[in-house]
Chains A and B, each alone.
Chain A
């Protein structure tokens, strides 16, 4: 049963399994374990980014395609839900329409970009996606009557998902099960289900061809696999998943704007999450997204504490000041990429593999 759900693609490292299980339980019970709105916000963001980063890894890590248009598809999802809800009112029908049209637009756009430009060399494809994504971002900010421009859109969501909605009269484990928590679980389960679907895809005959294309597209073509078709399908799947991430983010934030979905800094974050977690391993998306979002949200607090402690020591207090958190985040990136070029997951798996061969050699 577990084998089917995980598509027989296990973490293959004990520490990794432990961390993944911790993250899974942390996210699954976040509303009951943590108090206040900040931790739940962080948990929801982790769910959204696990989905977004896993979808990107399908392209970068599995197929070897470098695309800068990933946040564009994220934005199409976000704006699709947002525009439908803002224009047609906070009904399920409006949301459904927004979801379907966002997924269709994202998929079609990815297909068109793919069929037209995946024949060219990887670097040109990357440039084309950059151009299309920039054009899309400009379009989104110019069509302000439709998208709210730079201000973005605020909107209501269906009543069941609003904070004021109470599912149960009495609190469960000291937490009121309100619409906010229902929305959180919607985000959580959509992300979990989509992640498992992608885990299945990368372990399907199709997913194996993607890895072959990454390794040697020339030979994959010579074996009879039409490489452009495979690459295009991969980018459609990735785009649809990114749009899905945008949709759940739009529901969670009740706001969609350029800074939450389309901005280039999100694209950079996604790239870093994939690399830190480990390219070509979907579990890397979980690790990378969790690490980075926790660092972004709590490093500042941690630095503040350290600054307090080291008060009086001249150089240290300046280094550990709360304002320096970005500097430390940067140092963390550089160190992690330097020491784990294959990502956290790659490193842990290599360690586990080394230990296994060592023991089997010892037995002989």
Chain B
């Protein structure tokens, strides 16, 4: 059933080379409690450049909460988040973004009464750090405008440039969500179910973008995804969260074969094949 490519041996070699490179992002015993409920439970994991890691797990496993702890939308109860060796656990979300963590949201989270173009331009402007300029005209920053237009072209939203985001169909809002993330040019890309709710013909646009990012071996990509075919076609590594704990970590073939994962989450889908 699992292609005989010597999964575990290849992965062992891969792990060896990867360990030589310092992790861009690392969580150590990262934990958050909501009252008595432990949503993320002592997750330790390192992410190195040039890898796409898929984070899978059943609904309520804590995947999005784990993302929120990493990117700073939620404060950790315990544990640490390190970016390039620097402890960012106490830093605000904006400070983490400026240190190279880029985040796209699962529930579309945009600027509703601004145009599609302005949404992207704001992200470009955030990246170059031009926001504290009070006296230049925004329309004189041609560099920002041009950069935003390139990104709109890339996610195929150029024809919707002047549309208000509130009037945009759901699929286009998802594309714009991805556009904001790539406009930030982060070192770590965090995609939270980027294709959720998209129509089938729109999905390839997003997957192509993720593939392009992956081809640039300097980027670190974290991907929360439910669709197993997407995970299989993109991921070099899978980590599995279950009830807030990290229960498996390894090469896709290895993880999908492991008993705990099949029981916890993947069983059904593997049986279907």
Residues of chain A having any CB pair with chain B under 8 Å: 4, 7-8, 200-201, 203-209, 211-212, 215-216, 218-227, 230, 233, 237
Number of A-B contacts (CB under 8 A): 98
Indicate whether A212 sits within 8 Å of B111 (C-beta atoms), given known contacts A204-B134, A222-B97: yes
Q: Which of B34-42, B118-126, B201-209, B251-259 contacts A (4 or more CB under 8 A)?
A: B118-126
CB distance from B136 to the nearest CB of A (A): 6
Q: Once bound together, how far apart are the Cα atoms of A203 and B144, in whole Å?
A: 14
**List of B residues within 8 angstroms of A207 by Cβ:** 134, 138
CB distance from B22 to the nearest CB of A (A): 23
Q: Which 3 A-B pairs have the closest CB atoms?
A: A224-B97, A215-B111, A223-B126
- In the complex, whether B19 has a CB less than 8 A from a CB of chain A is no
Q: Once bound together, how far apart are the Cα atoms of A233 and B133, in whole Å?
A: 11
By the criterion CB–CB under 8 Å, are A219 and B110 in contact?
yes
**Seed contacts A205-B141, A221-B94, A223-B180; 16 additional CB < 8 Å A-B pairs:** A200-B137, A203-B138, A205-B130, A205-B133, A205-B144, A209-B131, A212-B111, A220-B122, A222-B71, A222-B73, A223-B123, A224-B127, A226-B94, A226-B95, A230-B131, A237-B134
By the criterion CB–CB under 8 Å, are A225 and B135 in contact?
no
Q: Once bound together, how far apart are the Cα atoms of A223 and B137, in whole Å?
A: 21
**List of A residues within 8 angstroms of B98 by Cβ:** 224
By the criterion CB–CB under 8 Å, are B135 and A201 in contact?
yes
Q: Which of A200, A201, A209 contacts B122 (CB 8 A)?
A: A209
Name 20 A/B residue pairs within 8 A (Cβ), A-sorted.
A4-B137, A201-B135, A203-B138, A205-B130, A205-B138, A206-B131, A206-B132, A206-B134, A212-B114, A215-B112, A215-B114, A216-B110, A220-B111, A222-B71, A222-B97, A223-B97, A224-B184, A225-B131, A226-B92, A227-B94
Chain B CB within 10 Å — which of A4, A200, A209, A237 has the most?
A209
Residues of chain B having any CB pair with chain A under 8 Å: 71, 73, 92-95, 97-98, 103, 105, 109-114, 118, 121-123, 125-127, 130-139, 141, 144, 180, 184
By the criterion CB–CB under 8 Å, are B139 and A223 in contact?
no
Chain B CB within 10 Å — which of A208, A215, A220, A222 has the most?
A222
Q: Which of B94, B105, B136 contacts A224 (CB 8 A)?
A: B94
Q: Once bound together, how far apart are the Cα atoms of A6 and B73, in whole Å?
A: 39
By the criterion CB–CB under 8 Å, are A208 and B125 in contact?
yes
By the criterion CB–CB under 8 Å, are B125 and A209 in contact?
yes
CB distance from B258 to the nearest CB of A (A): 34
**List of A residues within 8 angstroms of B133 by Cβ:** 204-206
**List of B residues within 8 angstroms of A203 by Cβ:** 137-139
**List of A residues within 8 angstroms of B137 by Cβ:** 4, 7-8, 200, 203-204
**List of B residues within 8 angstroms of A227 by Cβ:** 94
By the criterion CB–CB under 8 Å, are A200 and B111 in contact?
no
CB distance from B194 to the nearest CB of A (A): 15
Chain A CB within 10 Å — which of B94, B125, B184 has the most?
B94
Q: Once bound together, how far apart are the Cα atoms of A181 and B126, in whole Å?
A: 47
By the criterion CB–CB under 8 Å, are A201 and B127 in contact?
no
CB distance from B83 to the nearest CB of A (A): 13
CB distance from B188 to the nearest CB of A (A): 13
**List of B residues within 8 angstroms of A230 by Cβ:** 131
Chain B CB within 10 Å — which of A203, A207, A219, A237 has the most?
A219
**List of B residues within 8 angstroms of A212 by Cβ:** 111, 114, 122
By the criterion CB–CB under 8 Å, are A208 and B97 in contact?
no
Q: Once bound together, how far apart are the Cα atoms of A313 and B141, in whole Å?
A: 65
Q: Once bound together, how far apart are the Cα atoms of A223 and B114, in whole Å?
A: 15
CB distance from A60 to the nearest CB of B (A): 15
**List of A residues within 8 angstroms of B94 by Cβ:** 221-227
**List of B residues within 8 angstroms of A224 by Cβ:** 94, 97-98, 126-127, 184
**List of A residues within 8 angstroms of B127 by Cβ:** 224
CB distance from B23 to the nearest CB of A (A): 21
By the criterion CB–CB under 8 Å, are B135 and A221 in contact?
no
Indicate whether A205 sits within 8 Å of B112 (C-beta atoms), given known contacts A224-B97, A225-B94: no
**List of B residues within 8 angstroms of A219 by Cβ:** 105, 109-111
Write the chain A residue with the least CB distance to B98.
Answer: A224
By the criterion CB–CB under 8 Å, are A215 and B97 in contact?
no
CB distance from A134 to the nearest CB of B (A): 31
